[in-house]
Amino acid sequence: MKTIAAIIESLRPKQWTKNLLLLAALIFSSNLFNPALSVPAFEAFFVFCLISGSVYLLNDLIDKKQDRLHPTKKYRPIASGRLSTGTAAAAWVIAAAVSLSWAFALNASFGIIVLSYFLVQALYSLLLKNLAIVDIFVIALGFVLRVIAGAAIIKVPMSAWFIVCTMFLSLFLALGKRRFELVTVESGARRASLKGYSVGLLDQMMTIVTACTVMTYALYTMAPETVNKFHTANLIYTLPFVLFGIFRYLYLIYTEGKGGSPEDILLSDNPLIADILLYGAAVWYILYKHI
C-alpha cells in the first residue's frame, strides 16, 4: 500500500487542476450540458491527468539527485527513497502506455495532441528546462496543447484569441514560479535555467505578460466571432474577475512571497477561490441562462 500511495503522490494529483483547461472548449461552446460531448471531454481530462502524471514521474526520476538538495522537493517519493527507481520507471511506462492508448482510442486527432504533449514534456525534462526563456515557453505550450486537445476531442473550433490568452496566462504563472525559485531556493538546488534569469528581468517579463493576458482576454470577449457565437456581448463583464484574479496572484507573489506552486495557491487562497467561483458563475449565467 505504501508503494501505491507513493506512486499516486508522484503522479501529483494536486497539479491535475491544470488539466481543467481541457474543459474550456466544452464550456465556451455552450455544450457543458450536452452528454454527447461532455462525456468524451471529461474522459479526455482523465487521460491528460494520467499522461501529465507520467511526465512528473519521468521528471522526478531524472532530477532525483538535484531534488535531494531542494528544501521541499527532497520530500518527493523518489528523492526521499520512499519509491524505488525501478518501481517508478515501471509506473512511468505503464502510465504513459495506458494514457496514449486511451487517447488514440478516443480520437485520432486528440491522440496526436496527447502524444505531442508527452514528447514535448519529455524533451523538457531531459533538456529544455535547463534553457532560460525556452523553459517558460515550453511550459506555456503545455497549457495551450491542453486547450487545443479539449477542442479536438469534441470537434469544435477554438478562438485564436482564447488560445493566445491561455499562452500569456501560462507564461505569467511560469514566470511567477521562476521568480519564487530564484528568490527562495539556494544556488546549489536551483535548476540550471535560473542562471539566465534575474529578479529584475523576471519582473519586466511578468509586467509584459500580465498586460497581454488582460488585453487578449478583453479582445476575446469583444471579438465579433465571440459575440456572434454566443449571441451576446456580455462576456466582457467577466473581465473584472480576471483582473482581480491576476492582481490577487501578483499580491501573493510580491507581498506574501508565494508563487512556487500555482496549484497550491489555487486550492488554498480563499479570495482567489471565491473569485474563480464568481467568474464561473458569471460565465455560466451569460452563456447558459437561455438553456
In the chain, what are the domain boundaries?
A: 1-158
Q: Are 225 and 234 in contact (CB under 8 A)?
A: no
Architecture of domain 1-158: Orthogonal Bundle (1.10)
CB 230 within 8 A of CB 223: no
Residue 36's CB: how many other CB atoms inside 10 A?
A: 8
pLDDT of residue 290: 54
∠124-59-95 over CA atoms, to 5°? Answer: 105
CA–CA dist 168, 216 (Å, integer): 8
Q: Give the pLDDT confidence score for residue 236 in this predicted structure.
A: 94
Q: What are the strands, taking DSSP E only, across 16-107?
A: none
Give the integer Cα–Cα distance in Å for 24 and 255.
31
Other CB atoms within 10 A of residue 85 CB:
12
- Print pLDDT tens along the chain (291 aa): 788 888 888 888 888 888 999 999 998 888 888 899 999 999 999 999 999 999 999 988 888 888 787 777 888 888 888 888 888 899 999 999 999 999 999 999 999 999 999 999 999 988 888 888 999 999 999 999 999 999 999 998 888 898 999 999 999 999 998 898 888 876 655 667 788 889 999 999 999 999 999 999 999 999 998 898 888 899 999 999 999 999 999 999 998 887 777 888 888 899 999 999 999 999 999 988 754
Task: Tell me if 234 sits within 8 A of 161, measured CB to CB.
Answer: no
The enclosing H or E element of 282 equals helix 270-288
Measured from the Cβ of residue 287, the count of other Cβ atoms closer than 10 Å reads 21
Which amino acid appears at position 187 of this protein? S
Which are the contacts of 101, defined by CB distance < 8 A and separation ≥ 6? none
Q: What is the grid cell recorded at 99?
A: 494514457
Specify the pLDDT at position 265.
85
pLDDT at 190: 63
